Amino acid sequence: MFGVGFVLALALAIFSIGAFGVLTRRDPLVMFISIEMMFNAANLALVDLSNYLKLVQGHALVFFVIAVAAAEVAVGLGIIIAIFRTEKDVNVDHLSELKG
């Protein structure tokens, strides 16, 4: 009943919701969670297609994506906390230190 297209559509919808979150929210943590959501949408599409094509290479790729995402979360949250320690404010609209 639920074919390859249904899961692809679900992944597209989740990706778009994540993009919407990154564009609208000002809380850097929620923006970060939205980015993770987009990662997960890509993973879901990969798993769906490798299930459809009966290939396991997609699973290996998802494994790598999860590892890269974990490294990215560690570095990103470290940066956010470092900014908060110097600025005492993590609203992305107020962070204009890098502005030329």
Partner 1 sequence: MGLNDILFAIFSFGALSSAIAVVLTRNTVHAALHFVGHLLCLAVLYCLLNAPLLGVLQVMVYAGAVMVLFVFAVMILDMGEQEHAPLFNSAGQALGAGILGALLLGLLAWGLGRGGLDQALAPAGAASLPGVETDNIAQVARSLFREGALTFEAVGILLLTAVVAVMVMAKRKLES
Find the binding residues for partner 1 in span 23-62 (CB under 8 A).
Answer: 23-27, 29-30, 32-34, 36-37, 40, 43-44, 47-57, 59-60, 62
- Closest to partner 1 by CB, 54 or 99: 54
Which residue type occupies 79? I
59-98 positions binding partner 1, by CB under 8 A: 59-60, 62-64, 66-75, 77-82, 84-86, 90-91, 93
Torsions phi, psi for 53 (to 5 deg): -90, -5
For the chain, helix (H) and strand (E) counts, in that order, are 3, 0
CB of 92 to partner 1, least distance (A): 10
Dmax (CA) of the chain: 55
Q: Which amino acid is at 81?
A: I
Give the binding-site size for partner 1 (rule: CB under 8 A).
72
